Amino acid sequence: MSHAELCLKKDRLVLNENEQSSSKDFLDLNDRDLNFTSEVKTRSGVDVSLCWHCKTCMNGCPFSESMDYAPSAVIRLVQLGLKNEALNNSTIWLCVGCNTCSIQCPNAIDVAAVNDTLREIAIEQGISVAEPDILKFHREVLNSIKRYGRTHKLEIMLRYKAYRRDWFADLGVGLRMLSKRKLDLLPAKSPDIQVIRSLFEQGKVA
């Protein structure tokens, strides 16, 4: 190849030699942060160099069809030091941390921990969040824990719906959950609420 470019596909990242692709399918390998890989490794505790890109994580992920990058592709971005692409994608926000990928990975790579780290870095650096609704939901969950020491699901849902201005989309499901006592009308506070709040202050969370 006469120039260093990376061909990007949803389920793979490969050096392009013969494939017919538009210019938007390429990433410039010269635009790399050589310290990014070690930063992610240090912060996540995950050695991303162990990834073989066998795509087992993609096959096991229940949300891979909605992702712009496969889980292994995000790992590849980190390996290559492609910081902008690794932080500016929807995949890291769509990951719910179910750890299905990690359980199935032959090298036991904690992909969810890598995604957690990438989200943290993106927030710290003020990068525009690819999925702002998901970030808002995460913050409502944390705020509930900060207020009560545990989650109050009904309040989380109502606050999130107020943000979305979408009151009726899941009304039927909500009513069924209430009828089966899956949602508490009033929050229950943890007896150690002050200890929990101190953790938020130490970590400056929410």
The DSSP string of 62-84 is TTGGG-SS-HHHHHHHHHHT-HH
Quick one: 117 and 157 in the same domain?
no
Q: What is the CATH number of the domain that holds 117?
A: 1.10.1060
Quick one: 23 and 90 in the same domain?
yes
Q: Give the end of a domain, one of 66, 98, 124.
A: 124
Query: Nearest-CA neighbor of 110 among 119, 118, 100?
Result: 100
Q: Which domain, by its residues, includes 89?
A: 5-124
**Does the global pTM surpass 0.75?**
no
Q: What is the pLDDT of residue 17?
A: 43
Report the run of H or E that residue 5 belongs to, with start and end: strand 5-9
Query: Nearest-CA neighbor of 146 among 95, 204, 185?
Result: 204
Q: Give the end of a domain, one of 93, 124, 155.
A: 124
Residue type, 121: I
- Sheet containing strand 26-28, edge to edge, reads 12-14, 5-9, 26-28
Q: What is the pLDDT of residue 7?
A: 53
Number of structural domains found in the chain: 2
Q: What is the pLDDT of residue 173?
A: 79
Quick one: 33 and 100 in the same domain?
yes
| Rounded CA separation 136/191 (Å) | 27
Quick one: 82 and 13 in the same domain?
yes
Residue pLDDT tens, the chain, 206 long: 434 455 555 444 544 444 444 445 677 777 788 899 999 999 999 999 999 888 898 888 888 888 988 899 999 999 999 999 999 999 999 998 899 988 999 999 999 999 999 999 999 999 988 888 888 888 898 999 999 998 888 888 888 888 878 777 777 777 888 788 777 888 888 888 889 988 888 766 44
Q: What is the pLDDT of residue 134?
A: 85
Quick one: 17 and 67 in the same domain?
yes
